[in-house]
Amino acid sequence: MRLASGSKTERSACKVIASVLGIGYVKGGGTVAAIACCLLLYPMRTWCLTQHFLPVALLTVGLLVLGTWAAHQVEPLWGKDNYRVVIDEVAGMWISVLFVPLTGPRLLAGLVLFRFFDITKPLFIRRMEKLPGGVGVMMDDVLAGVYANVLLQAGIYFRFF
């Protein structure tokens, strides 16, 4: 059930989640949300996301499920893949540095690569947008994050970062 007919509190909660605490209302919200994600991820570098697979995997799955659900719920209110929905950018940015030992340059490279793939949408990314509901909203950013992660991992392997 979508929340177009849900309570005002339910609709508000979905809007807060989908817009990542209102970031989606800011001009350039997708980039701002990705940067906000980086600001949260950078302090986690000492936790070393490469050594704690289960918590990171659970956090990733939780973020994807929550983001898909929220995007699906606000679609009747805001329309398909509205600019205010930026939870997908947070998920894509998270995936772009998933299991990468974080340093400042690697995080910056992950951000640049993710935003490049998210904005230009090459290599089947645009097709993901055509999937229905919240899945389509999330999957293009997930795939952009995967591509960014692969290039970032290759850059680390070849010692560019």
Number of domains in the chain: 1
Residue 10: predicted pLDDT: 81
Q: Please, which residues have CB within 8 angstroms of residue 102's CB and are 6 or more apart in sequence?
A: 41, 42, 44, 45, 48, 49
Residue 38: predicted pLDDT: 94
pLDDT, mean over the chain: 90
Strand (E) or helix (H) holding 40: helix 29-41
Count of beta carbons in the 10 Å neighbourhood of residue 16:
13
pLDDT digits (tens, 9 = 90+) for 33-82: 999 999 988 887 656 555 667 788 888 899 999 999 999 999 999 999 99
Domain of 66 in residue numbering reads as 3-157
pLDDT digits (tens, 9 = 90+) for 138-150: 999 999 999 999 9
Residue 3: predicted pLDDT: 53
> Which one-letter DSSP state was computed for residue 26?
S
Residue 1: predicted pLDDT: 47
